[in-house]
Structure 1
Amino acid sequence: MSSTPFSALACPLDGNPMQLQDGTWRCDAGHSFDVARQGYTHLLPVQHKRSRDPGDSKAMVAARQRFLNAGHYRPVADAVARAALSAQPEGGVLRCLDAGCGEGYYLRRLAETAREQDAALSLLGLDISKWAVLSAARQERAMSREPQEPAGSQWVVASNARLPVLDGALDCVLCLFGFPVYAQFARVLAPGGVLIQAEVGPDHLRELREIIYPNLKPEREASQAVPDGLVRRDVETVRFPLTLGEPQAIADLLAMTPHLYRASAEGRDRAAALDSLSVTVDVRLTSFVRLADAGV
């Protein structure tokens, strides 16, 4: 596999192209953004923040890192990697953004799969949580086979609401259990590019939800609406049983979901008392293709 550094970043202040020079991203207007020593770049201006420390907390990121690195969601990651690699231009480099990358697990698995298939990649991981992006950058550096090997991905702190990416610069966008901003996704995708969206299915973690909630709400039907500028290509369901045999793994699963905050204290206590838990993983992967005449 060959890795090409992602270079199609746009200035978050004026949208102009940026160039990387001596560890700093700069645009022609003179705005500059340093690459941190840990290997990521902060591209979320303070005026675009809705809180002092937006996104997942340091504790949530640590829980997700432990859970995902243990391989519990490996079938989901493998399905995402297959779908993403199907968007690779023939004989070209797959330019892929994970919009809401968290601590980088899915991009790392994509890179591993691409290496097995000798596919060429140019990867960008983006999250609004600085703790998530910091974890992603650190893990990638730790996994480098050579101490001076350049990072395979660019990691940036930014928001899906204002992607710091040039128009039409991507072949694939991943939005995995995150907050989709379809107008932005259509803008940054090249014509024929693919958006892969992961959402929970009706039975996802049902067994855990039955423990922490007194009653389960009826499941909402999946939306059949197609975002402007995109056309639905296909839908894949990834479904499998998962058994967690230790309290830490159960606690990490709860901590990385919205259920941690939605459940009552009594519900969280019931989950904390478990020594093991068997749950159903039910994930829906929907692929959309960017129209050539999207007009975005």
Structure 2
Amino acid sequence: MHTDISTKEIAQYRCPLCQQALLLNEKSYRCENNHSFDQAKQGYVNLLPVQFKHSKEPGDNKAMVQARRAFLDKGYYQPLLDSMLALYQKYSDKNADIFDAGCGEGFYTNQHKTEHNSVYGVDIAKETIKIAAKRYQECFFSVATLSDLPYANEKFGWIYSVYAPILENEFTRILKNEGYFLTVTPADNHLFELKSLIYRQANKHDTTKKIIEKLTLVEEQRLNYPMNFSNSDDVLNLLAMTPFAFKANDELIAQLTQQKHFSCQADFVLRLYQKKH
């Protein structure tokens, strides 16, 4: 069905400089104090003022983003996404706004979008947001920092974080009362076989709970399944997504390139919390 672009809902943001509401006029978001943020041609808005940046190009670089996009497109993490969506279907208010914290190139963001909700994604890496906004035009993407999110208090009924830093104070500020927050973190054996090729003694992930003090734990799940690779490009893309990629030497890269089959575990912990006053 063709949707007239003029009927598309306008994203709701607050100014990162003065916390007043931003209103879209033509192609610029502007607040009552006249701070202005242009909408890029891909549709996203950059709400990370230069003085808030800690480096020239914060976040993942282009190569890492492209590797992750190629890997996720092959469906290796689809079982994780299915588990996340099942929790969403079970608990959420289907009309409430959704927020993807550290959304990357929008793989999870897009698949949470329905005709009833508005879905927002934030990442600090501009290259990543550019890809997400161009590809998934039904969602609202912005460049911003998780430590100071460009949203009004209690805007979202459902927030999730896949591997992103968990900043409880800021996330609970934008979460509605009775709303939910889902965290996805690596469990003990996540990518253990891949790590074992790199480290002489591979450590298992520390699954000690990151203490979330203000929210109530509603449900916890462990998801473990084997990923079987018959294409070395997929393994190399997976490696490029990981924090231990920089430890991989040329010899290991050559070994993985020549390997016809490789198997390693995906192992995740999903924890769903609710905000209750």
Query: Shift of residue 7 of structure 1?
Result: 3.2
Query: Shift of residue 152 of structure 1?
Result: 1.5
Structure 1 distance, partners of 2:218, 2:255, is 41
For the Cα contact (< 8 Å) 2:187–2:206, is it kept in 1?
A: no
CA 1:271–1:259 in 2, change beyond 3 Å: closer, same or farther? farther
Structure 2 distance, partners of 1:172, 1:291, is 14
Match of 1:197 among 177, 183, 189: 183
Structure 1 distance, partners of 2:12, 2:213, is 23
Query: What residue identity is the alignment partner of 1:77?
Result: L
Match of 2:83 among 79, 83, 87: 79
CA 1:36–1:224 in 2, change beyond 3 Å: closer, same or farther? closer
1:178 and 2:182 equivalent? no
1:30-61 deviation digits (Å, cap 9, x = unpaired): 11111100111100011111100000001111
Query: Shift of residue 263 of structure 1?
Result: 4.3
CA 1:221–1:155 in 2, change beyond 3 Å: closer, same or farther? closer
1:121 and 2:124 equivalent? no
For the Cα contact (< 8 Å) 1:100–1:175, is it kept in 2?
A: yes
TM alignment of 1:248-287, pairs within 5 A: 248-263=233-248, 267-287=252-272
Query: What residue identity is the alignment partner of 1:231?
Result: T
Query: What residue identity is the alignment partner of 2:161?
Result: C
Q: How many residues align?
A: 273
The alignment's TM-score, normalised by the length of structure 2, stands at: 0.92
Structure 2 distance, partners of 1:165, 1:10, is 5
1:131 and 2:117 equivalent? no
The alignment's TM-score, normalised by the length of structure 1, stands at: 0.86
Query: Shift of residue 122 of structure 1?
Result: 0.6
Structure 2 distance, partners of 1:125, 1:218, is 30
Query: What residue identity is the alignment partner of 1:54?
Result: P
**Which residue in 1 is equivalent to 2:197?**
211
TM alignment of 1:12-27, pairs within 5 A: 12-27=16-31
Query: Shift of residue 238 of structure 1?
Result: 1.7
Query: What residue identity is the alignment partner of 1:19?
Result: L
1:93 and 2:79 equivalent? no
Structure 2 distance, partners of 1:219, 1:26, is 44
For the Cα contact (< 8 Å) 1:201–1:282, is it kept in 2?
A: yes
1:121-172 deviation digits (Å, cap 9, x = unpaired): 11101000011101111111xxxxxxxxxx3211000111111111000001
Query: Shift of residue 103 of structure 1?
Result: 0.3
Structure 1 distance, partners of 2:81, 2:196, is 26
For the Cα contact (< 8 Å) 1:101–1:107, is it kept in 2?
A: yes
Structure 2 distance, partners of 1:174, 1:6, is 22
Query: Shift of residue 220 of structure 1?
Result: 2.6
**Aligned with 2:109: secondary structure?**
helix
Match of 1:32 among 24, 33, 36: 36
1:83-124 deviation digits (Å, cap 9, x = unpaired): 2344432xx61200101000000012222xx4xxxx611110
CA 1:265–1:214 in 2, change beyond 3 Å: closer, same or farther? farther
**Which residue in 1 is equivalent to 2:228?**
243
Query: Shift of residue 184 of structure 1?
Result: 0.5
Query: What residue identity is the alignment partner of 2:134?
Result: R
Q: For structure 1, which segment, 60-69 or 80-89, has the greater mean C-alpha deviation from structure 2 after superposition?
A: 80-89
Structure 2 distance, partners of 1:4, 1:190, is 24
For the Cα contact (< 8 Å) 1:8–1:169, is it kept in 2?
A: no
**Which residue in 2 is equivalent to 1:148?**
none
Structure 2: 5+ residue stretches without partners:
none
Query: What residue identity is the alignment partner of 1:184?
Result: E
**Aligned with 1:253: secondary structure?**
helix
CA 1:218–1:248 in 2, change beyond 3 Å: closer, same or farther? closer
CA 1:272–1:103 in 2, change beyond 3 Å: closer, same or farther? same
For the Cα contact (< 8 Å) 1:238–1:283, is it kept in 2?
A: yes
Structure 1: 5+ residue stretches without partners:
141-150
Query: What residue identity is the alignment partner of 2:98?
Result: C
Query: Shift of residue 271 of structure 1?
Result: 3.6
